[in-house]
Amino acid sequence: MAKKPSLDAAYALQSPDDNRLLYADWAKTYDCDFAENMGYALPIRVADAFAAKLNGSQNGRILDVGAGTGLVGQRLNSHGYSNIDGLDISPEMLEVARAKGCYENMIEGDLLSRLLIPDNTYNYIISAGTFTHGHVGASALDELLRISKPGALFCIAINSTYFSSTGFEKKFHQLSKKITQLEFITVQIYFEGDHTDGEGVVAIFRSV
């Protein structure tokens, strides 16, 4: 019997192909196996931070980066937000998200490569669970800035341990002329329980 996908397996990923294989197996049971059973709160907390920042306003398109099964999209919908596109490396995860009806468009893409998205497309970029162990590093911020419009609002969660060890602090310093209004909010990744790497840093800023 094949080993059941798990958080440890997700953290051990080393390449885009590893990501595709893991999430192809996990897509149909991810919400139950991980989100519900482990009390995964990060998508809700990031979407809530985004909504609090906008205070009910929306003028343009939102891109949910690493949309997965659509947990962020569901929460954004509950806050009244629409015109959301979902981006993920896994077509199987995107199919689960599509069925929830949260998104206008589903986009398969790898943040470590150039996305098939034109420059200056999005007014808002949100992400929960993508910038973590085995997934995507700080260099992907350049590609997200490319596809964002001037003044676009970003709300991106980064695993706290990953933030410290993989150059996010340095990257934000390097981007100081391309972003503004940078602030960091610390959130708990899980609702309760004793989980390793239980904190996330939510980086909120605007493109210049």
- In angstroms, rounded to a whole number, what is the distance separating the alpha carbons of residues 14 and 54? 35
Percent of the chain at pLDDT > 90 equals 68
pLDDT tens for 126-149 read: 999 899 765 588 999 999 999 999
Vertex 24: Cα angle to 90 and 114 (nearest 5): 20
* pLDDT value, residue 94: 96
Sheet hosting strand 179-188, strand order edge to edge? 105-108, 84-88, 62-65, 122-131, 148-159, 199-207, 179-188
* pLDDT value, residue 198: 85
pLDDT tens for 66-89 read: 999 999 999 999 999 999 999 999
Residue of 63, 45, 38, 83 lying closest to 185 (CA atoms): 45
* pLDDT value, residue 4: 53
Helix (H, G, I), strand (E, B) or coil at 176: coil
* pLDDT value, residue 18: 60
DSSP string, 72-90: HHHHHHHTT---EEEEES-
Percent of the chain at pLDDT > 70 equals 84
Query: Do 182 and 205 touch, CB atoms closer than 8 A?
Result: yes
pLDDT tens for 144-183 read: 999 999 999 999 999 998 887 888 999 999 999 999 999 9
* pLDDT value, residue 50: 98
Location of structure tokens 């989100």:
35
E-strand ranges in the chain read 62-65, 84-88, 105-108, 122-131, 148-159, 179-188, 199-207
* pLDDT value, residue 135: 56
What class, spelled out in words, does domain 7-207 have in CATH? alpha beta
Location of structure tokens 């590093």:
137
pLDDT tens for 19-44 read: 666 667 677 888 888 889 889 999 99
